[in-house]
Structure 1
Amino acid sequence: MEQAREQARNEGDEVTATQPTQPDALAGTRERGHRTQAERRERTRTALLDATIDCLTELGYARTSVQEICVRAGVSKGAQQHHFTTKAELMAAAVEHLTNRIQAEIVAAAGDLPDAPDLVEHGIDLIWQGFAGTLSAAVMELWVAARTDTELAAAIKPVDKALGRSTLRLFHSLAPEMPQHTLETLYWLTVNLIRGLALDAQIGGDATRRNQLLTEWKRIALGVYRGDVG
């Protein structure tokens, strides 16, 4: 009997010795499971956003349905609703997704930008590249649709404003010597000119004329910069 008790104590010691590792192992498994689940959710979300941008660019807003987005993303309708409860919410998130990607490209390119005053010309080129590509086609569809869709307008306006603010902060960090009011004026004039040029491109306008207007604006902007900074 004593031998049996001793064996039980020994076995108990062995179990006790291994017990601390079990919660750690379980915690590690749970952490990996949560991480994998989070990664799957992020992949699903990204697939939905990429498919939304593709649909807006290829089909336009009127023909972009949630069903078509789900088919292109390879995602069920239920999974889509888990991420985005309304179409307007999905549209706004897609624009934010694309603008974040474009901003990352601008930030990456900013390291190669020249010093002022050449920065003015290259900064305008960066804004043109960002606003005139896929972003322009997708956002143009949403701007037009938002005129009569109050839910869509409410969803995309904050995204549009946030993009403007963050890009403006980036250019302010690149040209701290420029007075704030001058920087903001040049930036917003550039953005609105480029939006107009992007619309002109969408409706088949003259590419040569667009390039001439952009070149002329660079000359004017550089003159304003030199007048304020010296």
Structure 2
Amino acid sequence: MVSPTVRRHRTQQERSEQTREALLDATIDCLVELGYGRTTVQEICARAGVSRGAQQHHFTTKAELMTAALEHLFARLIGEVTSASAALPPGRERVTKGIDLLWEAYSGTLSTAAVELWVAARTDPELRETLQPVDRALGHATLELYRESAGVDLSETEIETMLLLSVNLVRGLALDAMIGGGAERRGRLLDEWKATILQRYMPNR
């Protein structure tokens, strides 16, 4: 006799985590598709299939929800980049491929959501206050990730300078892409930056 399949009921914590993740994913989708100005909590809840009461249980304000969504997205991308960077070869190729990974992480959904929030934060003190520490944490996490994966014998100052310049370049290129800049030009600028890094920091490696 075959025993019937027993369906395991989700715990309260599992249900809570799934609700939170659904809200964060819906927030990111709204920011990308609608922009900050047209994104409402009602629309987020509808997309997530969550009641307003459940939403307020997790995030008391819209600013808190928006900021958590950006942090959620970045954590996911960092995980993907960490996995990909582990397979990179050492030396010069590791640095150039690392810049490609950095561009992939900071372009697309992350860039679009972040720009929407930062533009809104200029005139929204509450959003700016919640967003600033998260943005600093994102930059710090990126720096630590690429410091660990650089794979070259450089001083801490050299690594930090190289990576911060790279982060700011790809952020600028991501904004350029959003306003219609050409992919060929971005590719040329990234290639030029790779050559500059190799010449400046790794001429004999």
Fold in common (TM above 0.5): yes
Match of 2:167 in 1: 191
Q: Distance in 2 between matches of 1:80 and 1:169?
A: 33
Task: Give deviations 1:24-78, integer Å, cap 9, x for gaps.
Answer: xxxxxxxx98x70000000000000000000000000000000000000000000
Where does the alignment leave 5 or more consecutive residues of structure 1 unmatched? 1-31
SS in 2 for 1:178: coil
Matched position secondary structure for 2:69: helix
Letter in 2 for 1:99: F
Residue-pair matches, total: 197
2:191 equivalent to 1:205: no
Of structures 1 and 2, the larger Rg is shown by 1
Distance in 2, Cα, partners of 1:182 & 1:37: 48
SS of alignment partner, residue 205 of structure 1: coil
Aligned to 1:16: none
Q: Residue 18 of structure 1 aligns with which residue?
A: none
In structure 2, what residue type is equivalent to 1:178?
L
**Residues 117 and 225 of structure 1 are in contact (CA less than 8 Å); yes or no, is this contact kept in structure 2?**
no
Aligned pair 1:154/2:129, yes or no? yes
2:40 to 49, 59, 65: 65
Is the aligned partner of 1:167 residue 2:142?
yes
In 2: Cα distance, 1:100 partner to 1:181 partner: 25
> What amino acid does structure 1 have at the position aligned with 2:166?
T
CA positional deviation for 1:98: 0.3
Further displaced range: 59-68 or 215-224: 215-224
Could you say which residue in structure 2 is the equivalent of 1:28?
none
1:175 Cα deviation from its structure 2 partner: 2.9
Q: What's the counterpart of residue 190 of structure 2?
A: 214
Q: 1:99: which partner in 2?
A: 74
| Paired residue secondary structure (1:94) | helix
- The answer to whether the 8 A contact 2:86-2:149 is kept is no
* Sequence identity (%): 59
Question: What is the aligned-residue RMSD (CA, Å)?
Answer: 1.5
Equivalent residue, structure 2, for 1:144: 119
Give the ranges of 4+ consecutive aligned residues of structure 1 lying more than 3 Å apart after TM superposition.
none
Amino acid at match of 1:207: A
Structure 2: runs of 5 or more not aligned: 1-7
